[in-house]
């Protein structure tokens, strides 16, 4: 895909997120908008994956550890063709597999997440399995920055380095906000890059809203080596909608009809 096509895809995904959350009157707007460019780079520009063969044993794996950003994942998967976009209309419906936190009932979803602090460990297991069975697929896991306060992440980081998982990439959606306040005010996680380095990771920082930069970094990693990778993606919570960007309330706020219309309008430019 050309860069402008990737950017168009990201914009379409953002529009779907806004529409899906507004329709269902449930979801996590800020978290989902924050991660879109990362998901677009992975699913549309980088990962070896085929929506027609979501169970292919050789596929690259993606795990959304910050499972509350499910709408971002669902909309990306739908736009990529894993399931019909019409399924998004029934998001949070009683018989829909699209629950507020993702589960393996949905094609393209690798793990059940949403309780924070699970996905990174899961990714270590998946990557370890690839290594043990001589498969060349790569495993990508996206965590929140607030999520990194859960201690299991650091147990996972230790294990990833110990098992020499060069085939594992942890991407941090580093939007500096968590549920109700900044990460800095709530529980400081800095210096993040140095922490990962100390655990044995190769660390890169990137503009998490530049698909080009993301692809450049992803394309330059040594997946056959022994050091696991951490990409600290600098992002803005609520990215793409001016009145949501960086506003803590949009973690969980549901837009009114008028707000949704304004957001969609902004995202159509």
Partner 1 sequence: MEKKEMRAVYAETLIDLARENPDIVVLDADLMKANGTAAFAKAFPDRAVDCGVAEANMVGVASGLSAAGKIPFASTFACFASRRAYDQFFLSANYARLNVKLVGTDPGVTAKYNGGTHMPFEDLALMRVIPGLTIVEPSDPTSLAGFVRLAAAHRGCVYMRMPRTAANVLYGAAETFAFGKAKVLREGGDAAIVALGSVMVNEALAAAEALAAEGTHAAVIDALSLKPLDLDTLLRYARSTGRVVTCENAQIAGGLGGAVAEAILEAGVAAKFARIGIRDEFGEVGTVEYLIERYGITAAHIAAAVRSLT
Ligand X SMILES: Cc1ncc(C[n+]2csc(CCOP(=O)(O)OP(=O)(O)O)c2C)c(N)n1
Q: How far is the CB of 27 from partner 1 (least distance, A)?
A: 9
CB 46 within 8 A of CB 215: yes
Binding of partner 1 at residue 182 (CB under 8 A)? no
Report long-range pairs for 241-250 (Cβ below 8 Å, ≥24 apart).
241/14, 241/18, 241/33, 241/266, 241/267, 242/266, 244/29, 244/30, 244/33, 246/177, 247/30, 248/30, 248/177, 248/179, 248/180, 248/181, 248/182, 250/29, 250/30
User: Judged by CB, which is closer to ligand X: 189, or 263?
Assistant: 189
One residue of 175, 218, 223, 267 binding Mg ion per CB under 5 A: 175
Give residues in contact with ligand X (CB under 6 A): 30-31, 34, 66, 68-69, 114-117, 144-147, 173, 175, 177-179, 237, 251
User: Among residue numbers 24 through 63, which ones bind Mg ion (CB under 5 A)?
Assistant: none
User: Among residue numbers 126 through 155, which ones bind Mg ion (CB under 5 A)?
Assistant: 144-146
- Of the candidate spans 19-27, 108-116, 170-178, 214-222, the one that interacts with Mg ion by CB under 5 A turns out to be 170-178
Binding of partner 1 at residue 1 (CB under 8 A)? no
Give the end-to-end CA distance of the chain in Å, rounded to a whole number.
Answer: 20
Angstrom distance (rounded) from CA 161 to CA 41 = 25
Phi, psi of 184 (to 5 degrees): -55, -45
CB 45 within 8 A of CB 6: yes
Residue with nearest beta carbon to ligand X: 144
User: Among residue numbers 27 through 66, which ones bind partner 1 (CB under 8 A)?
Assistant: none
Q: How far is the CB of 58 from partner 1 (least distance, A)?
A: 29
User: Judged by CB, which is closer to ligand X: 85, or 112?
Assistant: 112
Which partner from the list partner 1, Mg ion, ligand X, none does 174 bind, CB cut-off 5 to 8 Å by kind?
none
User: Judged by CB, which is closer to partner 1: 115, or 198?
Assistant: 115
User: Among residue numbers 98 through 117, which ones bind partner 1 (CB under 8 A)?
Assistant: 99-101, 103, 112-117
Binding of partner 1 at residue 228 (CB under 8 A)? no
Beta carbons within 8 Å of 158's beta carbon, 6+ residues apart: 199
User: Judged by CB, which is closer to partner 1: 118, or 204?
Assistant: 118
Binding of partner 1 at residue 135 (CB under 8 A)? no
Task: Please name the residue ranges forming H helices in the chain.
Answer: 3-24, 29-40, 70-80, 119-132, 152-162, 183-186, 192-198, 211-219, 257-266
Angstrom distance (rounded) from CA 72 to CA 210 = 17
- Of the candidate spans 41-49, 132-140, 173-181, 228-236, the one that interacts with partner 1 by CB under 8 A turns out to be 173-181
Q: Which of 204, 212, 207 is nearest to 44 (CA)?
A: 212
Q: Which residues sit at the interface with partner 1, rule CB under 8 A?
A: 26, 67, 92, 94, 99-101, 103, 112-117, 146-147, 149-151, 178-180, 186-187
């Amino acid at each position: 895909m050309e860069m402008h096509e990737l950017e168009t895809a990201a914009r379409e995904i953002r529009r779907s997120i806004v529409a899906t959350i507004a329709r269902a009157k449930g979801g996590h707007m800020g978290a989902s908008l924050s991660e879109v460019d990362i998901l677009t780079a992975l699913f549309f520009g980088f990962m070896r994956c085929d929506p027609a063969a979501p169970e292919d044993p050789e596929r690259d794996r993606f795990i959304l550890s910050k499972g509350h950003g499910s709408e971002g994942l669902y909309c990306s998967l739908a736009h990529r063709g894993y399931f019909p976009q019409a399924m998004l209309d029934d998001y949070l419906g009683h018989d829909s597999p699209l629950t507020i936190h993702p589960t393996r009932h949905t094609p393209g979803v690798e793990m059940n997440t949403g309780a924070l602090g699970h996905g990174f460990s899961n990714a270590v297991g998946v990557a370890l399995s690839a290594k043990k069975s001589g498969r060349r697929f790569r495993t990508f896991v996206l965590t929140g920055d607030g999520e990194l306060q859960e201690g299991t992440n650091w147990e996972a980081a230790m294990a990833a380095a110990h098992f020499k998982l060069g085939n594992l990439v942890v991407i941090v959606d580093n939007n500096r906000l968590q549920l109700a306040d900044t990460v800095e005010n709530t529980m400081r996680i800095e210096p993040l890059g140095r922490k990962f380095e100390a655990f044995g990771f190769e660390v890169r920082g990137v503009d998490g809203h530049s698909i080009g930069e993301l692809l450049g970094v992803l394309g330059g990693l040594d997946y056959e080596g022994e050091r696991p990778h951490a990409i600290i993606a600098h992002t803005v919570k609520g990215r793409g909608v001016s009145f949501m960007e960086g506003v803590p309330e949009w973690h969980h706020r549901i837009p009114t009809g008028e707000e949704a219309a304004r957001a969609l309008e902004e995202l159509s430019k």
